[in-house]
Amino acid sequence: MNFWQSFDQPIIALAPMEDVTDTVLRELLLNVADPGALHVVMTEFVSTDGLVHKKARKRVIHRLLVTDEERALLKAKNVKIVAQIWGNTPEHYQQVIKEIASEMEFDGVDINMGCPVPKVVRRGSCSGMIGNPTLAKEIILACKEASDLPVSVKTRIGLKAVATEEWIGHVLETKPAALTIHGRTQKQMSDGLADWTEIAKAARLRDQLGLELPVIGNGDVQSLREARAKCAEFGLDGAMIGRGIFNNPWLFMEEQRERTKEEKLEMLWKHTELFGRVWGDTKNFHILRRYYSIYSKGFPGAAELRANLMRSERVEDVERILRSA
């Protein structure tokens, strides 16, 4: 079943982000999310080439981990989870999707045709697909043939320049289960503002072609209210939120307010403790430092606390620092 067609309100989705949207962060966000405020979460994006090669697989397979605790929250809050994958070899996509469909409990698969990192684009992957629509279409169709899981696509409005209608027209020919569009070109990376008028053009093109698939906008969304307002203004079926969670980890709560020091430090500790419990020594602890700057601000003594946390090397260090906070 294509779950993307089952929503009767604007779809709110969590964007896939490198070293960010792992099972730990997803569990944290799901814990505080209000029922009905978040509909779809995505994994970190995973290389299909890495997954099919024995040695490389060990370095990337953790990106598809879903803990039992996260699984329970997904079920309780009726949130779908999608594995996002990338690469440029159709056969590798098929091999990976067959494994995902038969051995992992994902609700869908999303193809990354939007990551703008230059070294990846030069290899013809992710945003690089925009310059090779023939291969892009071959990959989407190969993915659809590999299993019954709905196959969606996340992409951008162009490579070096805006080419929304031409590029999206190619993608729509393959009839993906859903289409998420980031309102910047690959060349822009994260610079400037996302152009939602271009995203809207994609939705209108979908309508002209008589297709029934959700078009989801992505770029610069900072709140649920803004997400829903953009869907209404630009005639979209949903909005995907990414970097907005760095400003507000409580973003998926309907009632927004300034969090107290106690609430911020409680979230900080939950994040740290869960990271240590799930990953142990298998993942770089320094990944957490980006979150410490989020939690430790807006209260007296925050700057000193943040400075101490930025020097932490292990869970025990953070526990000791928080005791004296």
Domain assignment of residue 202, yes or no: yes
Q: Looking at the structure, do residues 205 and 114 belong to the same domain, yes or no?
A: yes
With a CB cutoff of 8 Å and minimum separation 6, the contacts of 65 are 22, 23, 278
Q: Looking at the structure, do residues 90 and 119 belong to the same domain, yes or no?
A: yes
Q: Looking at the structure, do residues 137 and 22 belong to the same domain, yes or no?
A: yes
Q: Looking at the structure, do residues 63 and 124 belong to the same domain, yes or no?
A: yes
Residue 325: pLDDT band by 50, 70, 90 thresholds? confident
On the question of pLDDT at 90 being above 80, the answer is yes
Check which CATH number belongs to the domain holding 172 and give it: 3.20.20.70
Q: Looking at the structure, do residues 240 and 273 belong to the same domain, yes or no?
A: no
Q: Looking at the structure, do residues 32 and 177 belong to the same domain, yes or no?
A: yes
Domain boundary among 186, 217, 247: 247
Domain assignment of residue 9, yes or no: yes
The answer to whether the beta carbons of residues 181 and 202 sit under 8 Å apart is: yes
Mean pLDDT confidence for 154-173: 98
Q: For helices 90-103 and 133-146, what crossing angle results, to 10°?
A: 30
pLDDT digits (tens, 9 = 90+) for 112-134: 999 999 999 999 999 999 999 99
pTM (global) more than 0.85: yes
Domain boundary among 191, 222, 247: 247
pLDDT at 1: 72
Mean pLDDT confidence for 198-216: 98
Mean pLDDT confidence for 33-48: 97
Domain assignment of residue 253, yes or no: no
Question: How do 40-47 and 108-113 pair as beta strands?
Answer: unpaired
Residue 318: closest CA among 298, 295, 300: 295
* Averaged pLDDT of the chain: 97
At residue 291, what are phi and psi to the nearest 5 degrees?
Answer: -85, -30
Domain assignment of residue 254, yes or no: no
Instruction: Cite the active site residues.
Output: 115
Q: For helices 164-173 and 133-146, what crossing angle results, to 10°?
A: 30
Can you tell me the distance from the alpha carbon of 23 to that of 62, in angstroms, rounded to the nearest whole number?
9
Residue 286 burial (10 A CB sphere; 0-12, 13-18, 19+): exposed
Residue 324: pLDDT band by 50, 70, 90 thresholds? confident
Mean pLDDT confidence for 52-61: 93
On the question of pLDDT at 61 being above 80, the answer is yes
Question: How do 238-241 and 215-218 pair as beta strands?
Answer: parallel
Residue 276: closest CA among 245, 309, 316, 246: 316
The answer to whether the beta carbons of residues 188 and 216 sit under 8 Å apart is: no
Tell me how far apart the 2 most distant CA atoms of the chain are, in Å.
62
Q: Which domain holds residue 179?
A: 3-247
When divided into structural domains, the chain yields a total of: 2
Domain assignment of residue 222, yes or no: yes
pLDDT digits (tens, 9 = 90+) for 232-272: 999 999 999 999 999 899 999 999 999 999 999 999 999 99
pLDDT digits (tens, 9 = 90+) for 265-301: 999 999 999 999 999 999 999 999 999 999 999 999 9
pLDDT at 182: 98
pLDDT at 211: 97
Domain boundary among 182, 216, 247: 247
Q: Looking at the structure, do residues 156 and 82 belong to the same domain, yes or no?
A: yes
Q: Looking at the structure, do residues 94 and 215 belong to the same domain, yes or no?
A: yes
